[in-house]
C-alpha cells in the first residue's frame, strides 16, 4: 500500500480525490481509476477499512442475496426508490461476482445474508486493498481533512496536515456517526452543511436494545434463531417481524432486534412501549399445546422445575419455569389444564419493556445524512456542488440488518467512482451513459 506522510505540506493534483477509506470510498477509488482518472484516496485512520473489519461481528455480511433490483430497493422502505437507478448499474449479484472473481468465495446463510467463506472480514478488505494497489490508486493514510476550499458551486481543494490536494472531482465517503472510534465522527455532515446541503440529524440505527426485565439479562449469551417480535403501544402497533435474537447482559441484540431498533428508538422518544416475544412463531396455540402435552407424556414423572429440559434450551428452561407461576415442585402430570394453557399463551406472548438503545459506540450504522433529493442518483453527483459525488453511509437511507448497508456502499461507490472518473466540466452528460458493460 502506498502512503504519503511527509512533514512539509505538499501541493498535489489528481483527477479524482476520494475522502474516506471505508467500503464506499475504496470502491469509488477503484472504479474511478478503472475509468482512467488519476485517483487519490484520503483516510483519517492509519489503515483503511477499520470499520469494515468489525462488521458482522468480524465476519462481514458482504451483501444480501436479493437479486431482483425492485425487491432489493423495497428493503430500504420508501427511500429505496432512489436506489433503482444505481442498482441497475451495480446490484447484489455484481457484489458477489466481484469478490468471487477475485478468489474470495462467499456463502449464503439465513435470511439471504452473504458472508465470505473464510468468515473473516479481513478477506473482504484484502480484496479491496489488492484492487487499489493493482489500479495504482494513491493512498494517503493518517491524514484527516482539516479544510475544504470551494468557489461558488465547485470544490477547489482539500487540505490535510501534510498536503493541499487539488482535484477535478471529489467523492465524499466519510460515513455516518456509528462507531466513532473507527473514524465515523460525522465530519462529512459538517462539511456538506457548509456547502449548502440539507442534513437530517443522524441518530443510531441497527443498535442493540436495553430491556428493563431482569429475567432477560439472566439469559445473557442465549441465541434463538426463530422468534417473532411484535411492537405494542406505538404508532407501529401490531408490526411484527421474525428472526434471530441474542440475549445480552443489558437486553437484546441479534439481526431481528437490530432491524427493529430504529422504530423502537423513535417510539421511546415519544413515551414508553412494550415488545411481545413469540418463542414458537411457526405454531399456533393449539399446535403448541399439543407439542407440550406430547413432551409432558415423556417426562410425566418429573417435577415442573425439571420438566422443560429438552423442550427449550437449558438456559431458557428455568426462566420459563419461574415466569409460568406454576409450583416448581408440582409433578408434571398434576399441572392443571388451565395452568398449562396459560403457559402456552405466555410462550406465544412474553412481554418485555425496552428502556432505550445503546449509543453510537455500539451502533452498526447510523440513520440520517444528506437529503436524497439533493443527489442525482444516476451519477451520485451532488445537485449543490458541480464536482462533488456522494456515496455510502453519508446518505440518508434507512438500512435494515442483513448486508443491506454494505450493499449501498458497493453500489453508490461504484456509480460515484465511475461518474467522477469520467467527469469534465464541459460534458457532464456522458456520465449518465454508464452501463454494466463498462464495469471492470
Write down how long the chain is.
Answer: 440
| Predicted TM-score (pTM) of this structure | 0.73
Of 163, 164, 166, which is closest to residue 7 (Cα–Cα)? 163
Q: Exposed, middle or buried by CB within 10 Å (0-12, 13-18, 19+), for 116?
A: buried
What's the burial of 439, exposed, middle or buried (CB within 10 Å: 0-12/13-18/19+)?
middle
Q: How many CA atoms lie within 13 A of 189 on its CB side?
A: 21
Architecture of domain 10-204+365-438: 3-Layer(bba) Sandwich (3.50)
Work out the average pLDDT over 48-74. 92
Rounded Cα distance between 257 and 259, Å, is: 5
pLDDT of residue 272: 83
Q: Given this model, what pLDDT does residue 362 score?
A: 54
Cell numbers found for residue 201: 440529524
At 8, list the grid cell. 512539509
For residue 290 the three cell numbers come to 399439543
pLDDT digits (tens, 9 = 90+) for 386-401: 999 999 999 998 877 7
Measuring CA to CA, which residue among 272, 270, 241 is closest to residue 254? Answer: 241
Domain with CATH 3.50.50.60 in the chain: 10-204+365-438
In the chain, what is the straight-line distance between the N-terminal and C-terminal CA atoms, in Å?
A: 21
178 pLDDT more than 60: no
Please say whether the beta carbons of 332 and 300 come within 8 A.
Answer: yes
Residue range 220-246, pLDDT digits in tens: 999 999 999 999 876 656 778 898 899
Contacts 24+ apart (CB under 8 A), 54-57: 54/121, 54/179, 54/182, 55/121, 55/364, 55/406, 56/115, 56/121
Cross-strand bridge partners of residue 213 = none
Mean pLDDT throughout 48-67? 91
For 74, counting Cβ atoms within 10 Å of its Cβ (0-12 exposed, 13-18 middle, 19+ buried), the class is: middle
* Range in 209-223, 262-276, 316-330 the model is least confident about: 262-276
Among 319, 345, 225, 226, residue whose Cα is nearest residue 280: 226
Q: What is the pLDDT of residues 131-154, one digit of tens each?
A: 999 999 999 999 999 999 999 899
Amino acid at each position: 500500500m502506498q502512503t504519503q506522510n511527509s512533514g512539509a505540506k505538499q501541493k498535489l493534483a489528481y483527477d479524482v480525490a476520494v475522502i474516506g477509506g471505508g467500503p464506499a470510498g475504496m470502491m469509488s477509488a477503484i472504479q474511478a481509476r478503472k475509468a482512467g482518472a488519476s485517483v487519490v484516496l484520503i483516510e483519517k485512520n492509519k489503515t483503511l477499512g477499520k470499520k469494515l473489519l468489525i462488521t458482522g461481528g468480524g465476519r462481514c455480511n458482504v451483501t444480501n442475496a436479493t437479486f431482483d433490483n425492485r425487491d432489493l430497493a423495497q428493503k430500504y422502505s420508501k427511500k429505496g426508490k432512489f436506489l433503482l437507478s444505481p442498482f441497475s448499474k451495480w446490484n447484489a449479484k455484481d457484489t458477489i461476482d466481484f469478490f468471487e472473481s477475485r478468489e474470495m468465495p462467499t456463502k449464503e446463510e439465513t435470511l439471504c445474508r452473504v458472508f465470505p467463506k473464510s468468515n473473516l472480514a479481513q478477506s473482504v478488505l484484502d480484496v479491496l486493498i489488492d484492487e487499489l494497489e493493482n489500479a495504482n490508486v494513491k493512498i494517503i493514510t493518517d491524514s484527516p481533512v482539516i479544510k475544504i476550499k470551494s468557489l461558488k458551486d465547485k470544490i477547489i481543494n482539500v487540505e490535510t496536515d501534510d498536503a493541499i490536494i487539488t482535484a477535478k472531482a471529489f467523492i465524499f465517503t466519510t460515513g455516518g456517526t456509528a462507531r466513532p472510534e473507527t473514524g465515523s465522527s460525522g465530519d462529512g455532515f459538517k462539511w456538506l452543511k457548509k456547502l449548502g446541503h440539507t442534513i437530517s440529524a443522524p441518530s443510531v440505527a441497527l443498535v442493540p436494545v436495553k430491556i428493563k426485565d431482569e429475567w432477560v439479562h439472566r439469559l445473557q449469551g442465549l441465541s434463538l434463531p426463530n422468534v417473532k417480535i411484535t411492537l405494542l403501544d406505538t404508532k407501529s402497533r401490531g408490526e411484527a417481524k421474525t428472526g434471530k435474537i441474542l440475549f445480552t447482559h443489558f437486553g437484546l441484540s441479534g439481526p431481528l432486534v437490530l432491524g427493529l431498533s430504529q422504530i423502537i428508538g423513535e417510539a421511546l422518544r415519544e413515551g414508553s412501549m412494550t415488545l411481545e416475544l413469540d418463542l414458537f412463531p411457526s405454531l399456533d396455540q393449539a399446535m403448541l399445546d399439543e407439542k407440550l402435552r406430547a413432551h409432558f407424556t415423556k417426562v410425566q414423572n418429573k417435577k415442573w422445575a425439571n420438566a422443560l429440559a429438552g423442550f427449550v434450551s437449558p438456559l431458557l428452561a428455568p426462566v420459563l419455569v419461574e415466569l409460568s407461576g406454576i409450583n416448581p415442585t408440582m409433578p408434571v402430570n398434576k399441572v392443571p389444564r388451565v395452568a398449562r394453557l396459560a403457559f402456552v399463551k405466555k410462550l406465544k406472548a412474553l412481554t418485555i419493556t425496552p428502556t432505550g438503545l445503546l449509543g453510537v459506540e455500539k451502533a452498526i450504522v447510523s440513520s440520517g445524512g444528506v437529503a436524497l433529493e439533493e443527489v442525482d442518483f444516476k451519477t451520485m453527483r451532488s445537485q449543490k456542488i458541480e464536482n462533488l459525488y456522494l456515496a455510502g453511509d453519508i446518505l440518508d437511507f434507512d438500512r435494515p440488518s442483513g448486508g443491506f448497508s454494505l450493499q449501498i456502499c458497493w453500489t453508490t461507490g461504484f456509480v460515484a467512482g465511475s461518474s467522477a472518473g469520467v467527469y469534465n466540466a464541459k460534458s457532464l452528460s456522458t456520465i449518465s451513459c454508464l452501463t454494466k458493460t463498462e464495469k471492470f
